[in-house]
Structure formats: structure tokens, C-alpha cells
Structure 1
Amino acid sequence: MRGGDNRTGELFSYVDLEARVRRDHPLRAIRRIVNEALAALERDFAALYSPIGRPSIPPEKLLRAMLLQAFYSIRSERLLMERLEYDLLFRWFVGIGVDDAAWDHSVFSKNRDRLLEGDIAAKFLNAVLAQPKVKNLLSTDHFSVDGTLIEAWASMKSFKRKDGLDEPPSGGGRNEEADFHGQKRSNETHASTTDRDARLFRKGKGKEAKLSFMGHGLMENRHGLLVDACLTLADGHAERVAALHMIEPRAERPQAITLGADKAYDAEDFINELRSMKVTPHVAQNTNGRRSAIDRRTTRHVGYVVSQRIRKRIEEAFGWIKVIAGQEKTKFRGRDRVGWAFTFAAAAYNLVRLPKLVAVPT
């Protein structure tokens, strides 16, 4: 018997969200790890809110929603709230009921400064890695480091002279024409009026210079998980400075550790600094017209070859963060906000990897 095409819903309905999500769904394993990490941050969350006043939306739910935004490549918080309105899977993961209304998208803007002040992104990344079942996966001896450019939310037309002597643009309208041909533009004489922290930078010869930030990641070599992430202004020394900053806390142990990196890190002062910290520099040799700081005392070991092969896996993390999590061109302005989003995306990348690395009971 053919069923009728009824267009009206039932007046009353009971939907069990737990039953609607299949038992082997990857988000089940991720949610278990996320909830344990958020529980560990209870005191940090409490310190960010006043003990009196009207209750706000719990930061735990905001962070779960932001994770979904990264997992599913949702490009804006407005679209995220639209998805949360009708998607039962999203409601189950965030922790809101079927009859609860989705929040206004401005909730994220109002709470972002609070989460930024508490450095919640870095603490959340550490809380995920600190769980015993995750910590057992991590290598404490062998690491890799690299950097990647994050394009700023600012156009080249905003890159103007600091002394204000720019020629007025021709034409009219909102998007006026500008001709940069023949002009010498540098970070010393120019700055973006849209984002003062953005810097004009190009990754290599022949590449286009863009207003950018530089994101950095430290990866453990056993399973390729990011154990640290940060963001700096884009300049030629940022990668090496950030690498020393991230590896130094892990070098405070009796045993020597290794750090793999590409040719950009082959600088004598950087190599000497690593060795002074008892960190073996497994850095690729840069022999392009000069003498490499890496010699046979390092390259003759089998471990050096292994590090050079494994270190390239960090590009997988950067690829996911930029393409899937939407950090290739940031939607925020200012180093602090862009850095918070980059670090949180690094934590999201680890969470995507973990279900296949650790067995989490459902």
C-alpha cells in the first residue's frame, strides 16, 4: 500500500538524540575526548565569568560548536548557527536539546575576547594531549617543526605609507582603483590600515608577496600529532625563533631529543642554540651556494634519515588546518585573535586523528 504524502508534522514528537547517532559514528569517540578535556578546564572557565548576574551560554558548548565549524568546513558562525538549528547530529555533539533554540551568531563575538583572555585554545590543546590514553601515543624524544603562512584579512590596497604621503586613488566608489606598479613597498615604510599586525611576506623566490601571519607547529614523530602551536608576525626569523620557543620546555630532561626541520632552519646560530639545549638538530642541509651548519656528525646516523622522512608529515597537519578548518585566509584581525584560531584548529586536527589511534568505548 502506497503511503500518503502528508505535508504536516505531528503535533507532539519525542526525539532521542542519543538513539539518532549511530554507535560507530566518529564523533562519538571525539566527543568523549572533548568532554574529558573540557572537564579538566572547569576552573579556567570559572575564572573567566562573574559569580553573579544572568547565566551565559556555557563556554563548553561554544567550544564544541567551534569544533564542528572546523570539522565540517563551515565558513561563518552565522552558517554554523543555521546548521545547529536543524542538524540533530550537531545538537547532540554540542549538548543542546531538540526543542532548544540555536543561539544568535553574535554570541561568539561577545565571548571570543573572554576565551582569548584565558588562553583557552592552548589550554584546550594541552588538556587533550594530557589525557592518559592520548599521552601514551606521544613521543617524548623525537619532534618535527615547521611554519606556514596564514593570509591576513586585509587587502593590498590597505597597505599604505606610514607617513600618510600616499597618492590619492583614482576613480570613485567603494572599491577605488590603485596602481602599485613601480612603487617600492616594505614593512618598514608601509603598514596595513585594516590589520596593523599583518606583514608583507613571501614564502620564497618567485612567490607572490601577501599580507600574512606565520603559524608554527611542533609535531611528535610517533603518530604525527601536534603538541604545540603558535602564531607570530611574518618575517624571515620567525620560524627559528618560534621553534626554539616550542622545543625549549621539552629539552629540560636528561636524555637528548631530536628536532627535524627543513632547509629554512639550517642556520648556524639556530643549530648552536639547539645543541646548547641538548637537542640534536635533524635539520635538512641547505647547500645552495653556502656551507651547511649540519655536518657528518649528524647526518651519518640512521635516525637523521628517519627524521627527514617523518618531518614532512607536519605538512598534512597544516594542509588540514588551512583547507578544512578554514585558516588558509583568516577571518580575524590582530595577531592575538588569529593566533587563537590557529591554535584551536591545531587541537581540532588532533581530535580528527585520535579516533583511529586510540580505542574509545562508546
Structure 2
Amino acid sequence: MRGQDQQTEGLFSYVSCEARVPPDHPLRAIRAITDEALEVLSPEFEGLYSKVGRPSIPPEKLLRALLLQAFYSIRSERQLMEQMDYNLLFRWFVGLSMDAAIWDVTVFTKNRDRLLRGDVAAKFLAAVVGQARGRDLLSDDHFSVDGTMIEAWASMKSFRPKGGDDDDTSGGGRNSERNFRGEKRSNETHASTTDPDARLFRKGNGQSSQMAYLGHVLMENRNGLVVGAALTHATGTAEREAALALLEDGRHGNRRVTLGADKGYDVAGFIRDLRTRKVTPHIARNDHVTKTGKRRKSSIDGRTTRHAGYAVSLRVRKRIEEIFGWMKTTGVLRKTRHRGKDRVGWMFTLTAAAYNLTRLPKLMAAA
């Protein structure tokens, strides 16, 4: 007999979000790793909040919500709140009951500065990396480093002279047409009025300049996990400077290690700094003929290239592009949705931690 299409609802519901999530859902394993990392950060959260007053939304719930934003490519926090209102999976992961009211979207705006002051994103990444190290999933000897351009939330029209003098009087409001022909612009004389921390930068010859930041990742070579992440101003030396800083924080102890990188890091001063720090530079050789016909000689010589491990590092280091690919597409970081180096850097580090969380369940199961 055909059933009737009637919209009926029970007066009471006794089914929880926990019962709705399948036992083998991938988020279950990710939730367990996340909760363990957040438990490590609990003393840090205690220091960020007052001992008196009205209880706030738990920072653990805020961080789980932001992780969902990266996992499911949700562009804005407003869309994230809409999803949490009716998505039972999201409610379960964050820790909200079936009938709990969702938060106002300004909750993230008000709490982000507090979490940023506590450097919570970097500490959360360190806690996740600590779990991987405890299960012997990380290499303590071999690393790779690279940088990528993150487009800033600022248009080229906002790149104006720092003194405030602007000869463009064409009108048309804030989105008026601008003619840059014949105008010399540089980061020394101009700045964005939308995001002053952004810099005019181009990744290589023949590519267009953009308002951007540079994101940097230090990867261990055993399983391709992120062990360090940082965001800097977009400058020509930022990648090498960030690599040295990430190595200081990411290496375990003072033992000799190797560092793989592309030919952009083949600079004599950088190679010298690595060797001083007991780091063997497994960097791609940058031998080429310049436009003037001169032969550029690589700083990587036979004492490095003669070892079989050099070729292995050059092959494995390419996996770092998988990290950037995930962060820019799934993690929607191709163009940042925040302004200011601190806020953009905070989200970059948290997204790097989210990438590790997507990899760790399978790695832990196979260990």
C-alpha cells in the first residue's frame, strides 16, 4: 500500500547527535585526535579568560568549528553558522546538542583576538605534532621547506602613495577606475589602504604582481606532515629567513639534519647559514645562464650531491606542494578572508594543523 506524504513531527525526540553519526565516519577519528590536543591546551585557555563573570563559549568549541570550516571548504563564518544550525554532523563535532542555539557570527570576531594573543593556533599545531611524534610517525632527521603566495584581501586599487597624495581625481566612488600607466609603484613608496600589512609581490618572472603574503611550511619527510608553519610579509628574502626560523622551532634537539628545498633557496649566504646550524642543504642546484650570458654557479657542490640521500630528498620534498594544494583549495586559503598579518598568519597555522588532522587517522591506524 502506498504511504501518504504527510509532514508529521513527534512531540519529543530522544535521538542524540551522537547516535546520528555513523561509527566509521572519518570525523570520529579526527575528533579523538582533536580532543586530545585541546586537552593539552586546557591550561593555556585558563590563562586567557577571567576567573569571574559570565561563562563564555568554550574555546574548544570555537576551534572545532574553525576546523570544520577548513575540512569542508566553508568560505565564511556566517555560512559556517548556517551549516551548524541544521547539520547534525557539525553539531556533533563541535559539541552542540540537538536543541542548542547556534552562536551569533560575531562570536568569532570577539574571541579571535583573545586566541591570537595566546598564540593558540601554533600551540594547537604543536600539540597535534606531539601526538604524531609520540607514535613515531615523524622523521627527526630529514625535513623539507617551501613557501607559497597567499593573496591578500585587498585590491590593486587600494595600493596608494603612503603620503596620501594621489593624482587620480576621476571620481566614481570607492570602486572608481584607476589608470596606473606610467606610475612607478613599490612597497617603499606605496601601501594598501585596505590591508597595510600586504605587500606588492610576484612569485616569478612573467607573472603578474599581487597584494599578497607569503606562507611557509616545514615538512618532515617520513610521512609528509607539517611540523612548522609561519606567515610573513611578501619579500624576496622571506622564504629563506622563515626557513631558518622554522628549523629552529621544528627540529628535535641539536642533531645534524637535512633540509630539502627548491632552487630558489640555492643562495650562498643561506647555504652557509644552514651548514653553521648543522643542517645539510639538500637543495636543488640552480645552475643556469643569465640574460647577460654569464654562467651562474650553484652553491651546492659535490660533497652534498654525491650522497644517495640527496636524490631522495629532492624527490620527497615535492610532497610539500600537496600541503599547499590542500590548504589553498580545501582550506580556502588561496585568497585570505582576513586582514592583517597576525590574523592571516593565525588562520594559516590553524589550517596547517587541519591538514595534519586529515592525514593522522590513517597513519595512526597503520602504525
Q: Normalising TM by the smaller chain, what interval?
A: over 0.9
TM superposition shift of 1:349: 0.4
Match of 1:347 among 340, 353, 360: 353
Describe the superposition over 1:185-204 as per-residue Cα deviations: whole angstroms up to 9, x where unpaired: 11011111111110000000
Q: 1:250 to 1:171 in 2, by over 3 A?
A: closer
Contact 2:227 2:250 in 1 (8 A): no
Instruction: Look up the match of 2:178.
Output: 178
Instruction: Look up the match of 2:265.
Output: 265
* Aligned pairs for 1:291-302 within 5 A: 291-302=297-308
Instruction: Look up the match of 2:206.
Output: 206
* Aligned pairs for 1:310-349 within 5 A: 310-349=316-355
Distance 1:169 1:179 in 2: 11
* Aligned pairs for 1:191-270 within 5 A: 191-250=191-250, 253=253, 255-270=255-270
Instruction: Look up the match of 1:121.
Output: 121
Of 161-170 and 335-344, more deviation after overlay is shown by 161-170
Instruction: Look up the match of 2:292.
Output: none
* Aligned pairs for 1:29-48 within 5 A: 29-48=29-48
Q: 1:16 to 1:249 in 2, by over 3 A?
A: closer
Distance 2:196 2:301 in 1: 41
AA aligned to 1:243 is A
Distance 1:342 1:254 in 2: 27
Instruction: Look up the match of 2:78.
Output: 78
Describe the superposition over 1:234-254 as per-residue Cα deviations: whole angstroms up to 9, x where unpaired: 000000000001112455745
Instruction: Look up the match of 2:69.
Output: 69
Contact 2:88 2:98 in 1 (8 A): yes
Instruction: Look up the match of 1:101.
Output: 101
Structure 2: where are the runs of 5+ without partners? 290-295
The TM-score, its normalising length taken from structure 1, stands at 0.97
TM superposition shift of 1:164: 2.0
Q: Secondary structure at the match of 2:195?
A: coil
Distance 1:330 1:252 in 2: 31
Distance 1:27 1:88 in 2: 13
Structure 1: where are the runs of 5+ without partners? none
Q: 1:48 to 1:99 in 2, by over 3 A?
A: same
Contact 1:81 1:102 in 2 (8 A): yes
AA aligned to 2:318 is K
TM superposition shift of 1:162: 1.1
Q: 1:132 to 1:353 in 2, by over 3 A?
A: closer
TM superposition shift of 1:56: 0.5
TM superposition shift of 1:59: 0.2
AA aligned to 1:328 is R
Describe the superposition over 1:115-167 as per-residue Cα deviations: whole angstroms up to 9, x where unpaired: 00000000000011112675510000000000000111111111001122211
Q: Secondary structure at the match of 1:185?
A: coil
TM superposition shift of 1:24: 1.0
Distance 1:216 1:311 in 2: 14
TM superposition shift of 1:2: 1.7
Q: Secondary structure at the match of 1:208?
A: coil
Distance 2:121 2:361 in 1: 21
Distance 1:153 1:8 in 2: 47
The TM-score, its normalising length taken from structure 2, stands at 0.96
Distance 1:300 1:275 in 2: 17
AA aligned to 2:283 is V
Contact 1:196 1:334 in 2 (8 A): yes
TM superposition shift of 1:19: 1.8
Instruction: Look up the match of 1:356.
Output: 362
TM superposition shift of 1:10: 1.6
Question: What is the CA RMSD across the aligned residues, in angstroms?
Answer: 1.3
Contact 2:135 2:364 in 1 (8 A): no
Contact 2:218 2:250 in 1 (8 A): no
Q: Secondary structure at the match of 1:100?
A: coil
AA aligned to 2:176 is E
